[in-house]
Each structure stands twice: as structure tokens, then as C-alpha cells.
Structure 1
Amino acid sequence: MARWLPAALFVLGVALELSTPREVTISAPFAAAPLAAAAFLSLWSTVLTGVLSSSATLLFAIFHDNGSLIESEARSLTSVTVSVVAVGVNYVLLRSGSRLASARGVAEAVQLAVLPTPPSHVDDLTLATRYRAAQAEARVGGDFYAAEETSHGVRLLLGDVRGKGTGAVAAVVLLVGVFREAAEQEETLSAVAARLDRALQREGRRQTGSAQLEGFSTAVLVEIPNSSGPGSGSGQDTGRDGGQDGGQDGGEQDDGKVLRIVNRGHPPPILLYQGRTALLEPTMPALPLGMSELGKWPEHVDEVAFPRGAQLLLYTDGLSEARDADGVFYEPAERLDHSYFTHPEELLETVLIDVAAHTGGQAVDDMALLAVAHHTGPQP
């Protein structure tokens, strides 16, 4: 519709000139038409609009209006000047648009490199991811996710780096790269978390000033072993009450699928099963990655059943701290309770639509989502 605005202004100018007394001169629509063309049309369309508008102004001044010669020349000169300016504005806008498109392409390439799309199917698991930047033109920020299929099972990572801008992106690149290597090499999920922690500390020592003390990241790591077996390490709460609501008693009856979780200061994952949701709060809180120098404690791994038909949702605080106009936080576990989803893609789309309705579309922080489903039947 906007592309027709220049033509509409031109027609309006002609109609007003012909319908008003000859003593009344109407030149504003003719002057506005080239400016509208500069905003919505191509360079040559803007030039054509300027020529038509200037010609119309000149012709009406000569053959229709009864104004003085000086006034006619002034209106014609104004129309020509505005047309020339409109052509210049259009040229600048086109160049800026081209540069913006190029920058978007680079940003999308960076996102694919930093946050590659994980495999959609692994055995009887299905994965889906979403990333939404708070800034409309941004493609990647301080939130991140990664998924690796390893000999130990499927290992997932989702987290939120402190800070914004290029510094946060650099930390994301570091953590995702270290995770990919550690997920394949380390025997336990605790060891993977330790590798990530050491990497952030090592990077922090290279910084100067306050940045040396402020480089950290909240994160949650999840392992879904390939087959049934006892939990690794000490302190694993197999069948703990926090994640066993909704008929998850005895995860061994469902091909032995379990979730092993290490939470480093991150919002707790949500387990969805048979229309019910459960927040998988860590039984032993831990500091974010990169802050282990403040204290030492044994890495704790929680273990809960992951039966067929269940889905797991990992998310960053861009979801859990989203607020409505009254300042009420979005509660994903409550909003998703009594809901059923056939596929993790459906789950993530529902979450994005619902949080947008909750906030009125006003995002103030980046948001990363990762969902995994344990399907009840064979997958393609």
C-alpha cells in the first residue's frame, strides 16, 4: 500500500488544482510525492516521480494559476529542489539497505557458526531449538545452546553469558567450542562442566580491570545416556521427588532413559509428562561457570527419569524474567501445565507465541530455547 503513496499524492495534487479557483495554488502534494517515493520506491521511480511532480507544478503555474510570475517560479524551484533532495535521500537509503542486508547475512553466518542447528533426530529423541534476540536486527548475543551426540549419549548445553555485545559473543564462541570437544572426550558430565569452568577462568585471566573478575556464565548441562545403567558419580538422586510427578516412577521401565543434570546457577529445566510440568530444581545449588575460584565443592549431578512421551525444556532467563505491563514475571512451568505437545517444535512455537502475548511483544533480553522429546514410537 505504501508504494502507491507517491502516485496518490500526485493525483491528489492534480485534483486539488483542478477543483479549486485559479487564484488558489496547491503545491504541497506535488512536493511531498518525491519524498514519499524516496522512502518506498527505487531510484529510477523516485527520479520519475520528481520529474512528473516538477513538470506538473510548472505546467499549472503557466497555464492554470493566476498568481504572479515570481510566485510561480518560486513554487517550481521549490518542487525541483525537493525532487533533487528526494533522489539523494533515496540513493542513501538504498546504500544503507544494501549494507544492512550484508550485515544481516554476516550475522546469520555467525549465528550458524556459533549456534549450529543440532540434529533433529537422535535414536528415539527429537530435538528443537529457537533463538530470539532482544534487538530486532540482532542474530546472536550472550545466550547459547549446543547439542552433541557422543559415545556417552546425547549431551546438551544451554546458558547465558554475563554482558552484551562482542565480549559476550566471544565468550559464547569459547564455551560452545570447549563443550563440543569436552562432550566427546570427558567420561562424566561433571568433567564437562569443569572443562567449561576452567576455560572461562583462563579467558578471564587474560582480561584487564573489572572484566577479569566479571567473566562468568550461568549454564545447565544435560546428559541422556544411550542405555540404562546406574548414575555416574556420587550424589545422584535417582527417582527424586522433584521430577517424578505425573507417572515417572521407575524410569527403568521406559528403556532406562534418564536425565543427568548439572545446573550452574541457571533457571531450572522443565519436564513435561502426561500434561503435567515439573521444575527440575538442583538439589545442591552451585555457582555459575567461571566462579569456582570463590569456593570449592563436589560437582553434583541430579538424575531423573525420562520416560517415553516426556519432553524437556531448557531456557534462558529471557523467558523466565519476561514481564507484562504490570511487571508480572512469565512463569513457563505454570503456563505450560495441562498442555500436550506432539513435537518439540510445537512446544517451542507455543512458548514463543505465549511469551509474546504476555509481554506485548516487548522483549528486553535475549532468549534461547532447547527442547528434547523422548518419543513413544520409532522416528523417521
Structure 2
Amino acid sequence: MANVGGIIPDRPGEVARSVRWLPAVLLVCGFLVDYFAPVQFSGAAFYSVAPMIAAALLSADGTILTGLCAIVADAVTLGHFGLLATGSGMSELMSITAVALGSVVINRLLLVRDARLRSAQSITATVQRAVLPAPPARVGALRIAARYEAAEQEADIGGDLYAVQTTPYGLRCIIGDVCGKGMDSVEAAIAVVGTFRMAADEEPTLAGVVARLDRALHLGAQRADRPWGRGEWFATALIAEFPPGTQEMRLINRGHAAPFLLHKAAVRAIEPTRRAVPLGLGLGDEPDLPDTVAMLPGCTVLLCTDGIHEARNRHGAFYDPQARLATVRFSTPNELLRKLIDDIDRHTAAPRSDDTALLAFTYDP
């Protein structure tokens, strides 16, 4: 588990490179205090702290080396002043030795924890790629970009979802946010994405895709074998398609945040003509009627979850995506998403409180 340079580079919350020298600085400070301060002052505190700091920052080799240096430095100064010969310095030396040995044990425990954390992160990253794969960069006249930002730093997937799929009926996509937290929301997100992928290929109309999604969530909520019990399964979602041979986008909004249409310096929210309930709650309603939006050359459609609408700064002011998007200059959909996330982070100046999924489509014939 040791690594070159003595630092574990991908430990969560990795410290700045300069901090790795802190144990050495403490050892030098302790040595200087012992040699140049009055005899009643001792550098033992520095020798004790240095291995403990090394256990959290350095590899096993670095921690062992720091502990040995602390023991040797203390022994040399005690011997120089004749405290070892009289036996009065043995208690101090034994204490520093015990701290150094304990630091090695702590370091090994931290390394085991880090290995388990990396394994868990690898698994969740694999799940994310399976559930939310990156869409193709371009399909026909459309350039595409996607972004998923988890609220938790170590989390890779939550209740927000998206999918983009090429079908016999054109490019179809979905973006949504399922109700709930934890594994219940993850299971619901997987059900929505899986159903969408099958329905998008099989259903000739967008309304048919939405009906299949409604049915899947409604039936999933009735399952008695779910490990976390029955409950309401529903999701806000926006389902869209770009029919081949046309310059338009059709979309059905089921209780989701309105997408934005960006063209030149203008930004407008695409509000649905008819308000509809979220997926999973609409069984028995009239069939959904898609809205149609003209796609002019150079225009971009941004689909997002409510994570950007609910982002607040320390004064409680919500982020205004429509106003902020009007100030963003970009040449590709990837650049748009990157600048938007950076702008949200500057607005909140704090860790995210909600997951955020983003999809952007630029019509570039």
C-alpha cells in the first residue's frame, strides 16, 4: 500500500501537497526546542505529534520513518544532556516510542478503510455508467452533452436520472427526478431508465412511451417483495424526441422543471401547454399531448432537474437559471454545462444540497 513520495494521492479530502512536509517540520521544531531553549523546555510534544500527523497524511513507510526519526531525535537530545545516563529521560523516550508504534497501527487501519472506500467507489461508478451512460457526442445534426452532479461528495448516483437513445422514431431522451432518498430512489431511477429504453424503441408515439413509464412506476409501487417495503413510486420527468427529417423537438412534461431554449442572447423557459402530474400518478388520465418547439440552427435546449432551481446562497437567495444563462457564452453544449455548474458553485459557495442532472442539445446542421 506504500506509494512513492509517501502520500496517498486519492484519499478523500486530499490535502495540499505542501502539507506532507508537516511531520518533518514538527520534528525539526522539536529538535530546535531541545537544543536552544532553556533546559526546562522539552520538544517531546513535537516528537509525539509528528507521527500522529504522519499516520493521517502519509503512507505506511512515511509513518514508520517519521516515528523512527522522532525516537532517534529524542534519544540524541536526551543523551546529549546526559538524561539517558541518569535514567530521568527514559519515561519521555518510552512515551514517544509508544506514540510512534500506535501511529503505525492507526495508519494501517486508515489504509484498510481507504481500500474499502475505493472499492465501494469503483462499484458505484460502475453502476452509474450502467444506469446513466454518457450519451454520444453527436447524433445527426444534434450535438449532445450530459452532466450528473451528486449532492454527496462520495456518492455517484441518486434519484436524478437521464437517458438518451437513438430509435427508429428519432432521437429520444428523458430527464427526471424520482421521489424519495436512498436505495428506494435508486431502484426507482433504474426502473424508469430501463422502461424508457425499451419503450423508446418500441412505441411509435411519445405518448406511448410516457404511458409505459406511468405503468411501470405504478406497478413497481405495488410490489410486496421490495426490501424496503411498499410505498409511492413517482417521478417528475421530461420526455423529448427529435423526429428525423424535421427541425423540431417534441416534448411531454410530467410535473418537471421547464427546459430552456437558448438562441443567440435570448433565453426562454419552455412551459407546457397543459400541466400534468408526475409519472406514476397519472394512470387513467387523458393521453399526453406533446408540445412542439422549433429548432433553429445554432439553438440549444437545456434540460435540467430541480437541483439548479433549489441551489441557494448563504443569504437564502435561490439561483435564477434563466437570468444566469443569458450571461453564459459557450461554443459547445459541454462548455455550457461546465460553465453552468461552475456558476452554481460560485453562487452557493457550499456543498450541494441536491443532486443535479443536466442534458444539453445543440442543433448544428
Q: Using structure 2 for the length normalisation, give the TM-score.
A: 0.91
Deviating above 3 A after TM superposition, structure 1's stretches of 4 or more consecutive aligned residues are 65-71, 207-213
Separation (CA, whole Å) in 2 of partners of 1:298 and 1:188: 11
Q: CA deviation at 1:207?
A: 4.3
Equivalent residue number for residue 253 of structure 1: none
| CA shift for structure 1 position 55 | 2.2
Structure 1 counterpart of 2:9: none
Aligned partner of residue 89 in structure 2, secondary structure? helix
> Which residue pairs with 1:355 in the alignment?
344
The residue identity in structure 2 corresponding to 1:303 is T
1:111 and 2:100 are equivalent in the alignment = no
Hey, what does 2:63 align to over in structure 1?
46
1:323 aligns with 2:340: no
Tell me, what secondary structure is at the counterpart of 1:320? coil
Which AA in structure 2 matches 1:286? A
Q: Describe the shift of the 1:42–1:340 C-alpha distance in structure 2 as closer, same or farther (beyond 3 A).
A: closer
State whether structure 2 residue 209 is matched by structure 1 residue 219: no
Please list every run of 5 or more consecutive structure 2 residues that lacks an aligned counterpart in the other structure: 1-17
Match of 2:358 in 1: 369
Deviation at 1:165, TM superposition (A): 1.2
Query: Contact 2:71/2:97 (CA < 8 Å) preserved in 1?
Result: yes
Tell me which of 268, 276, 279 is aligned to 1:286: 276
Match of 2:256 among 250, 266, 276: 266
CA drift at 1:223: 0.7
1:346 and 2:335 matched = yes
User: After superposition, where does 1:76-225 map in structure 2 within 5 Å?
Assistant: 76-207=93-224, 212-225=230-243
Deviation at 1:70, TM superposition (A): 5.7
Partner amino acid, structure 2, of 1:102: S
Cα distance per residue 1:247-293 (max 9 Å; x no partner)? xxxxxxxxxx1110100000000000121011001110000000124
Identity %: 39
The reply on whether 1:308 has 2:297 as its aligned counterpart is yes
SS at match of 1:304: strand
Amino acid at match of 1:129: A
Counterpart residue identity of residue 130, structure 2? A
Shifted more, 20-29 versus 90-99: the winner is 20-29
Q: How high is the TM-score relative to the length of structure 1?
A: 0.87
Contact persistence 1:153–1:225 (CA under 8 A): yes
> What is the CA-CA distance between 1:25 and the residue it aligns to?
2.5
Unmatched segments (≥5 aa) in structure 1: 229-256
Q: Is the Cα contact below 8 Å between 2:160 and 2:355 reproduced in 1?
A: yes
Q: 1:74 to 1:214 in 2, by over 3 A?
A: same
SS of residue matched to 1:362: coil
- CA offset at residue 71 of structure 1? 4.3
Q: How many aligned residue pairs are there?
A: 347
> How far 1:30 moved relative to its partner?
0.8
Q: CA RMSD in A?
A: 1.8
Q: 1:18 to 1:339 in 2, by over 3 A?
A: closer
Contact 2:163-2:174 at 8 Å conserved across structures: yes
